Amino acid sequence: MRFYEFESRRLVELAGIPVTKYGFAKTADEARAAAAEIGGPTVIKSQVLTGGRMKAGGVKFADTPEEAAEHAAEILGLEINGHMPVGVLVDPKAEVEQEYYAAVLWDGRAKRPMMLFSDMGGIDIEQVAEEHPDHVGRGHLSNLHPIADFQAKETVARCGMTGSELGRASRVLAGLARLQRDYDMTLAEINPVARLADGSFVALDAHMEMEDEAVGRHKKVLESIGVDLSEPRETYEPSEFERNVKAIDAADHRGVIQGKDHGFHGNLGLVIGAGGGSLTLTDAVRSQGGKPANYAEIGGNPSVAKARGLAMEVLKKDGVEKIAVMMSIVSNTRVDIVARGVIKACLELGKDPAETIAIFRIPGAWEDEGYKILDRYGVEYCDRSVSLWEAAGRAVAKIQKDTNPDAPGRGAGEVSG
């Protein structure tokens, strides 16, 4: 779940990290009142879940409350990258002497949270890391032990900071690290952290993303800071395929299915699962010249209806010629149930399962019963002696051969059916 900047500011405040005095406004009059309370020049920022606000005219500077109201009225009616703002953030125009970058994110390679700090804030951290690597400090955190202040201090010191500034910046980073852990954030970022003329450190902007599965655990806190939990927070409008799969999943508590198709325009539909195995299989299809039509997840022992529903939606996608049904070895998902569901989808759409299912590779619970069903309809399947890579290759080869009959086939391992 992504948060608007004003919500991220409130989360930062809860973590005890200093912020400037700001206001959130949904109307021009509210923006005028917020600017008057702040006093002095202000910055009016569009509150949208997308980037590019400055270039699009969604960030403006005002010297008076009246000017703040005028800018707010204009920004509130400004669409940015397909997003209409939910309001504006009214922020004081701070006297900044130095900008820094602070973040805590999940490092998938190390499987631990990682702290980042740079004394070159306000710009893209990837650019800083590439062009000025000595200005970026990194430090990993334990998944089990409490977060100690010295860990943040070591990270900040790696970019060359010393003295009182080191202590103040370290407190900000330590607070951000605890926020990331306490609220299950996949990303907790402040860019920039600013050192003001009086020497204080404050957060001028914040970007927070929470694990979707953790939203329920933090419902009371999120509601207390004004988060509308009924509002969809996707950064794009879900496609019809994605909406339909989500509805099918919600209608039945047994098992889990999900599907994404943004960025996929291929002819091979995927009904795949096994957590990281889904990513592995999608990459295996692509790496061997295949063109996936979607990304999918199926598991947790879904019902026949769920397996049928996912396969049906995949098969109905424009351009899909065949589907590949693949998972790693399963223990809590019945092979025969998935087989029944997928074949049922083919038959209801008037498609021959033997021609439509390029490969079926799900070894595990009730596999003998599943293989009998596949045998009955002439569907090619393979057991656990055939790797995920090989199974993906067979599916790619089959669809390529249909497209180009002169293309050579391929195959390895034991195959039945």
* Partners of residue 92 on adjacent β-strands: 42
Q: What is the pLDDT of residues 109-162, one digit of tens each?
A: 888 999 999 998 877 788 888 888 888 999 999 988 989 999 999 999 998 889
In the numeric block, which tokens belong to residue 239?
């496609």
Assessment of whether the complete model's pTM goes beyond 0.75 = no
Do the beta carbons of residue 48 and residue 85 sit within 8 Å? Answer: yes
Residue 324 corresponds to which amino acid?
A
Q: What is the pLDDT of residues 189-220, one digit of tens each?
A: 999 999 998 889 999 999 999 998 899 999 99
In the numeric block, which tokens belong to residue 182?
């306490």
Omega cis (within 30) before 192? yes
Say which DSSP state 218 is in: G
Do the beta carbons of residue 345 and residue 379 sit within 8 Å? Answer: no
Count of H-run helices and E-run strands, the chain: 15, 17
Q: How far apart are the C-alpha atoms of 73 and 77, rounded to whole Å?
A: 7
CA end-to-end span of the chain:
44
Q: How far apart are the C-alpha atoms of 278 and 260, rounded to whole Å?
A: 12
Q: What is the pLDDT of residues 218-273, one digit of tens each?
A: 999 999 999 988 887 765 668 899 999 999 999 999 999 999 998 899 999 999 98
